[in-house]
Amino acid sequence: MELQNLDPKKLRIFSCERDILRDLFTYLGYVREHSVKRMTRTNEMPRADSVRIAKLMGDAELVKAAQETGGTQWIDFIDELALRLKLVSYDTKGEYRGYTSSGPSFIENYITVNRTNFQKFLTLSPAAQEKQILDTLIHAKSLQEYGDGSNNEFYETSVLGELDTFYQWGAATGLMPTLKFPAIRQFLLDVLKNCPPGQWFSVESLIANLKASQPYFLIPQNTPKADKWGHAIARYGNFYEGKDSWVHNEKPIPDAAPDGFERVEGRYVERFLEGIPLTMRFVDVAYNPASYKGLLPMHGMLKAFRVNERFPRLMSGKESQPRLTVQPNFDVVIESDFYPAKIIQQITALGEQVSSPNSGHSAYVGIFQLKKTLVAAEQIRQPKLDVIALLEKLSGRELPPNVKVELEEWSGHADQFTLYEGFALLESVDEVPESDKYTVEHIAPTLRLVRAGEKLFSTLEANTCVPLRIQHPTGGFAPLAESTVSLFPKKSVEEKAHGKPKQVKVSRSVAVTVKFPDDESFDSIRKTLAEMRCPFQSDIKTRVISFDQQYQAKFDEAVQQLQDLFIIETD
């Protein structure tokens, strides 16, 4: 197929900035950690969750859209994709709550992650994950009952698309239900596969080529003569054109129209390009920047497309492994043709992301920095984890020596502080064999860390050990009686501390207060002091001015300045 090149300089270029795989994992990560209940009436994601997911996806525009409208098309698309991939599940049918309900309600409709499917999906290679997404989108069926007829590019605008759709009237009748869209999409993807990447091609030439070589790729040559109700089927009977989408004065496109292929199949090709290929960043598209003036739905506005490198890379079937490099400055650089979720999950447990990942059309590049606390925390979470061995295995080479030494030390940090929560401390001068089976650690000859404190206390009481049970307050240690033998503070120490006078340090300053006999001199000196930016306080009623002694010089200066008006003498 020979396509015409087109210079997109005068066109408006659009490319998808989102990485579908990365956003899918961001969404899954969020719904795994949070209990997300969908809205009862609309079954949409709640606004708060949408905003949080948008923030995690790191797109300011998404966040703004989620905050303003309560959700975004992109997050809804990812949400639906996760459901189609069977990675999550939630109710999509709902129930009618009463005879007067105008729609179904979705009560307590929580999003749950299907852990088995998720783990299975996670273990796939990034390319295989992308392929599974592609396959799912190609074969996507409507989630609405009776919506199959209109669940295609003719009637639904793509999540990133801007071209309008055909009038839906009669979509479940005529030729439409007989069309095999998965095969059509696959065919067009195969056509794109043969386009050299990086070059802009004219969409018009693609349509013309298809008309010449594959005129029946969408609608078979021999269409059924009648539908299941016995009504005659016209080849283009489902497709209407009109001047105004509000008035619905559309007319069907005649089968015999010489430009019928361009008007029906051509419009489909345009809408297909801004569907799966654009969403999955297989292509970039370029639109005519001028406003549309022809018959609706729009035709000829999508002028050009360009196939990106990642598309032939994915379709070639060659699996390339993500590349990981550990640098001497503790940076871990991950490069991959597709978003390497599993490796990222492993590395984010050990380090922090320091660069925003590349979301363009080229390979994924992410830089992480290994962090001492994270390595130690992961070591605590997985005591058998060998961080050095893991990084060497992922990178396929030995780690820089300094990194190795530090990692060994950091892993050692995991065991430096162990907090025992919910245990009790048994302090006993004598041997207490009764406590042996409750002992977790022998801290010192007289101290044991014990569990089941209440049970142990009863046992000790029953064995006439005369135990003392101390419930320490949350903010300090309970003072013990004088006659106790203990490391803990006694009452006398507390009393001494309380009996001692509390030390209070005060700062001393001397203020000078000057009282003026009349309003005139008082106002003048106030204004002069204010001009000189001298801090002072004044009381209009008593005509008193007070200032700190350190500003005496400034006050004297003010008096000096007013000597032509007043001779101020201090008593």
408/415 with CB nearer another protein: 415
Q: How far is the CB of 462 from another protein (least distance, A)?
A: 8
Decide: residue 451, CB within 10 A, 0-12 exposed, 13-18 middle, 19+ buried.
middle
261/410 with CB nearer another protein: 410
Tell me which amino acid residue 95 is. Answer: E
Q: How far is the CB of 269 from another protein (least distance, A)?
A: 57
71/351 with CB nearer another protein: 351
Report d(CA 38, CA 461) in Å as an integer: 54
415/436 with CB nearer another protein: 415
Q: Is the dihedral of CA 351, 356, 358, 360 positive or negative?
A: positive
- Helical ranges in 58-202 per DSSP H: 60-69, 73-84, 115-123, 126-138, 181-193
CB 112, CB 90: distance < 8 Å: yes
Q: How far is the CB of 463 from another protein (least distance, A)?
A: 10
Q: How far is the CB of 492 from another protein (least distance, A)?
A: 13
Q: What is the DSSP letter of 262?
A: I
56/465 with CB nearer another protein: 465
Report d(CA 59, CA 161) in Å as an integer: 18
Phi/psi of residue 386, nearest 5 degrees: -105, 100
Q: How far is the CB of 528 from another protein (least distance, A)?
A: 24
Q: How far is the CB of 38 from another protein (least distance, A)?
A: 34
Q: In what order do the strands lie in the sheet with 283-287?
A: 12-14, 283-287, 302-307, 200-202
17/461 with CB nearer another protein: 461
The answer to whether the bond into 258 is cis (omega within 30° of 0) is no
Q: What is the DSSP letter of 148?
A: G
Q: 346-353 long-range contacts, Cβ below 8 Å, gap at least 24? A: 346/390, 346/394, 347/394, 349/374, 349/378, 349/381, 350/374, 350/375, 350/378, 350/387, 350/391, 351/375
391/432 with CB nearer another protein: 432
CB 179, CB 149: distance < 8 Å: no
- Helical ranges in 197-250 per DSSP H: 203-213
Q: How far is the CB of 395 from another protein (least distance, A)?
A: 24
Residues binding another protein (CB under 8 A): 372-373, 376-377, 380, 413-430, 432, 441, 443-444, 447, 449-453, 456-457, 460-462, 464-477, 480-481, 483-488, 539, 541-542
502/533 with CB nearer another protein: 502
- Helical ranges in 262-326 per DSSP H: 267-273, 276-279, 310-315
Tell me which amino acid residue 380 is. Answer: I
Q: How far is the CB of 485 from another protein (least distance, A)?
A: 5
Q: What is the DSSP letter of 142?
A: -
Q: How far is the CB of 407 from another protein (least distance, A)?
A: 13
Report d(CA 186, CA 420) in Å as an integer: 59
Tell me which amino acid residue 112 is. Answer: T
Q: How far is the CB of 461 from another protein (least distance, A)?
A: 5
